A and B are shown apart, each in its own frame.
Chain A
Amino acid sequence: MRIIRDIASHPTGRVGAAIILLYLVLALCGALGLTPHDPLQQFRIDRLQPPSATYWMGTDLFGRDTASRLMIGIGHSFIIAFASVGLATLFGTLIGLLAGWWGGLADGLFMRAMDVLLAFPAILLALLIIAVTGPGTFTSIAAIAIVYTPIFARVVRGPTLSLKRRDFVDAARTFGSSQRYVLSRHLLLNLVAPLTVQVTLALAWALLTEAGLSFLGLGTQPPAPSLGLMMSEARNLMQQAPWLLVFPGLTIMLGILGFNLFGDALRDILDPRTQRRTA
């Protein structure tokens, strides 16, 4: 496919793609139990060990292997990010598309409802939802999905409004094309490019938000490892065991960076405006 070739030849895009691939492999290995050590097992005599040949990234206060825990943590973060962004994309696209297409009252109602959700800072809305349902993986997914649904609705509604005024939609009306045909062929097909970019960038934000929530102790619950939680646990040990801060911190950063780079590259490749600029 052309898009893969384009990404592979994009200077930062291929870095992003490589990071994402690496993380997917690590998460998969973690899920298959292919970690250097058992991520939950407490090697009591090896507490707070600095990085070594045995423990590549050291151990924590309970003697658990940081590297293994990070692999599992990446998997957790990815599941939450992909699930929440998937839901947000689905509902957001539907709402934005229909609001833009129908216009008038439906548009007003849908978008004011989205405005209500947007009136809450993301973390705060997530906090409110967690306050209601209690912390956990599913709550994190639901919270992040609800936070990003209105953003997707806006991202889709804008282009829908401009696409609907394009001549090819008018032409379709003169042929008497069905609403379904127009929505799927003329609108959705043209929304794929902006949506792909948005999904990638949203994955970066979702990782960020998930890490923040679990850092606050409101995401994944212990003893299950999660990146944010590991950072939070490392706080009081930063003097004795800086590796507990360094490795999870770098892992989170690099993961988010991967999606950001990939999303930016996609935007460069798919956006006709930047195409014109580089042409």
Chain B
Amino acid sequence: MNPLLSVRDLTVAFGKDASQPVVKGVSFDLKPGETLAIVGESGSGKSVTALSINRLVDFGGGRIVGGSMGLTRPDGAVLELSQAEEKTLVGIRGREIGMIFQEPMTSLNPVHTVGAQIEEAFRLHRGLEGQAARQAAREALDRVRIADAGQRLRYYPHQLSGGMRQRVMIAMALAGNPRLLIADEPTTALDVTVQAQIMALLAELKAEMGMAMIFITHDIGLVAGIADDVLVMQNGVAVEQGRLDAVLDAPQHDYTRHLLNAVPHFDGGRAARDDGTRTEGRAKPMVAVRDLMVRFPVGRGLFSRNPGAVHAVEGVDFDLVQGETLAIVGESGSGKSTTARAILGLVEATRGTIDAASGHGDRPIQMVFQDPFASLNPRLDVENLLAEPAIAAGRRVDAALRERMTFLLEKVGLPTDCLARYPHQFSGGQRQRLCIARALMLNPDVVVLDEAVSALDVSVQARVLDLLIDLQREFGLAYLFISHDMAVVERIAHRVAVMYAGQIVEIGDAGAVLSRPQHSYTRRLIAAVPGMDRRRQRYDVDTTPVPSLVRPRGYEPPRADWVDAGPGHRVRVE
């Protein structure tokens, strides 16, 4: 069979300088109805490759400086995409090559209804007008499993959740019945259960319509579930490519092996840490949280009839002892970050107590934030950044303090002569190391890590996790590790607490919770996590809606009942 798309030596450069291309000679063939996954980290050129195929790269300042891309048209003729005129390309885009993007939040036009945006696609590709276009748009929304399609057509993008918007994007991309769909990290911005829904939907629609797909991702675990062929990219070069099983089972290139082995992959609790098992009741907790409750008032104002509150955190209890990592996992809106912020006093607890044992420093609890770009003041140099906790504690910047700075810089693996540098001179991973060093300046006992590795590239993630484990052992630190990423949690946690809708639904040893989940939500969450061993496995389409956290005034949740599922493993009764 002729390939649908045949790419040879594709070379793409930005700006006027063609000597430093971003994509350097990538070649592949894609057969009709098959899926090619392009895997790589940021800067690997995987997205640029994707955008080159429908030539959207032209609008971002990119140029195809070499190679060819032959697209077989329905009539059998081959169109050379790299040479095609913009006029021809407009007829190809959407009709023969559809595309969906990473950021569903910004990829829809905010001033047009989703209905209008889908109808436009039907108008362009099928010539449908008025009622017929509306009817087609409604059917398209039905097809991507949006309930109440007729109603939703009138919604504006900002009124829909991220998962919904991505479905709208899919509905729009499929309006023209394209024979090739390019999906550029379509699930990266989504929660893991929503990701599973979108992946299931894509697999189903692809089978139904017999279309080919190019699936761009940084997560090799996702690839296992959907791809026929895999292409691994690093620094603009395709370092390895082949059939799915060959690449996953017998990787040839070091980088592929690194992606498969060094990077965190979820392993069903088998890879959980076994060092430093906790002796229940013996160790004095460094932090004891009891019945923590955080509520944010909503709808308070002159005209609102029913003021209520968002019950962001509802009756959370846990202990954290010296030297252990407690991971709080949950999806967006579960209250995990609010819990962390309440412990640091960044949000006020509505009720409950947070007891911190007096440790050896002035401030025994420190925090590392998610975004290393936002948590360092861009106008301060490293010395001033590291000095801030000490200055806040009333110390002077003297030789002893500078000595501590260089000591910690060395500990976190940064050059010790970088005190005069500014944050923009560091990479994301280095900045996060800087944040960790800053958190350790006052010799704390507990570090709260709020999605501390989530913004990092996967291989950087692995190294920062290793660093955190080393530091924990050396300084006897306790970590409260907030994350949505089960693979990362499995690597670092001794114990895991699963949060859902503001409450802990299950808590226990990492190995036990991740391998034998008891609560239905924990099971759902773990079932949604992609893994290397779940090859070509369909995810279930599960559309359980998240309950609203907005409660009327005076609402009190029912008392929680717990059952023991093993030593230290407690599950909330549903």
Contact = CB atoms under 8 A, between A and B. Distances in A.
Interface of A: 166-168, 170-178, 181, 185-186, 189-190, 192
B392 interface: yes
25 contacts: A167-B369, A168-B374, A168-B375, A168-B377, A170-B341, A171-B367, A171-B375, A171-B438, A173-B344, A173-B346, A174-B366, A175-B366, A175-B388, A175-B442, A176-B363, A176-B392, A176-B393, A177-B391, A185-B377, A185-B379, A185-B384, A186-B377, A189-B377, A189-B380, A190-B379
Contacts of A190: 377-379
Contacts of A185: 377, 379-380, 384, 388
B345 interface: yes
B375 A174 contact: no
Nearest to A165: B374
Nearest to A176: B392
Contacts of B438: 171
A94 B511 CA distance: 55
Nearest to B343: A174
A166 B374 contact: yes
A189 B392 contact: no
B287 to A, nearest CB: 14
A174 B346 contact: yes
A167 B371 contact: yes
B388 A170 contact: no
B389 interface: yes
Contacts, number: 63
A170 B378 CA distance: 15
Contacts of A192: 379
B380 A172 contact: no
B194 interface: no
Contacts of B183: none
A189 B379 contact: yes
Given A185-B379, A185-B380, 17 more contacts: A167-B371, A167-B375, A170-B346, A170-B369, A170-B375, A171-B367, A171-B369, A172-B392, A174-B346, A174-B363, A175-B363, A175-B442, A181-B388, A181-B391, A181-B392, A186-B377, A190-B377
**What are the 6 A-B residue pairs with the smallest beta carbon separation, nearest first?**
A167-B375, A175-B392, A177-B392, A175-B389, A167-B374, A167-B369
A233 B366 CA distance: 69
Contacts of B442: 175
A215 B380 CA distance: 47
Nearest to B372: A167
Query: Per DSSP, are chain A's interface residues mostly helix, strand or loop, or mixed?
Result: helix
Nearest to A186: B377
Contacts of A174: 344-346, 363, 365-367
Contacts of B81: none
Indicate the size class of the contact surface on chain B: 20 to 34
B392 A178 contact: yes
Nearest to A173: B346
Nearest to A167: B375
B376 interface: yes
Interface in B127-185: none
Contacts of B379: 185, 189-190, 192
A166 B393 CA distance: 22
Contact of A177 (B345, B365, B367, B388): B388
Contacts of B375: 166-168, 170-171
B460 to A, nearest CB: 19
A167 B374 CA distance: 5
A174 to B, nearest CB: 5
B391 to A, nearest CB: 7
Contacts of B380: 185, 189
Interface of B: 341, 344-346, 363, 365-367, 369-371, 374-380, 384, 388-389, 391-393, 435, 438, 442
Nearest to B370: A167
A174 B375 CA distance: 12
B306 to A, nearest CB: 23
A167 B434 CA distance: 14
A108 to B, nearest CB: 13
Contacts of A172: 388, 392
B145 to A, nearest CB: 35
A163 to B, nearest CB: 9
Nearest to B367: A174
A176 B376 CA distance: 16
A39 B16 CA distance: 55
A194 to B, nearest CB: 12
Contact of A173 (B345, B371, B391, B393): B345
Contacts of B391: 177, 181
Nearest to A188: B379
Contacts of A189: 377, 379-380
Nearest to A189: B379
B396 to A, nearest CB: 14
A167 B345 CA distance: 14
Nearest to A168: B377
A170 B377 CA distance: 11
Contacts of A181: 388, 391-392
A186 B442 CA distance: 20
A31 to B, nearest CB: 36
Contacts of B377: 168, 185-186, 189-190
A171 B370 CA distance: 11
A41 to B, nearest CB: 53
A195 B435 CA distance: 28
A244 B374 CA distance: 56
A175 B379 CA distance: 18
A194 B376 CA distance: 19
Which of A173, A174, A189 has most chain B Cβ within 10 Å? Answer: A174
Nearest to B377: A168
A81 B426 CA distance: 41
A174 B393 CA distance: 11
A166 B380 CA distance: 15
Nearest to A277: B61
Contacts of B374: 166-168
B14 to A, nearest CB: 10
A178 B369 CA distance: 20
B41 to A, nearest CB: 20
A166 B346 CA distance: 12
A244 B60 CA distance: 51
Nearest to A172: B388
Nearest to B15: A279
Contacts of A170: 341, 346, 369, 375
A173 B377 CA distance: 13
A177 B395 CA distance: 12
B52 to A, nearest CB: 20
Contacts of B392: 172, 175-178, 181
Contacts of A167: 369-371, 374-375
A170 B345 CA distance: 10
A130 B566 CA distance: 83
Contacts of A186: 377
Contacts of B370: 167
Which of A168, A173, A178, A186 has most chain B Cβ within 10 Å? Answer: A168
A132 B259 CA distance: 75
Contacts of B376: 168
A175 B365 CA distance: 9
Contacts of B384: 185
Nearest to B423: A168
B447 to A, nearest CB: 11
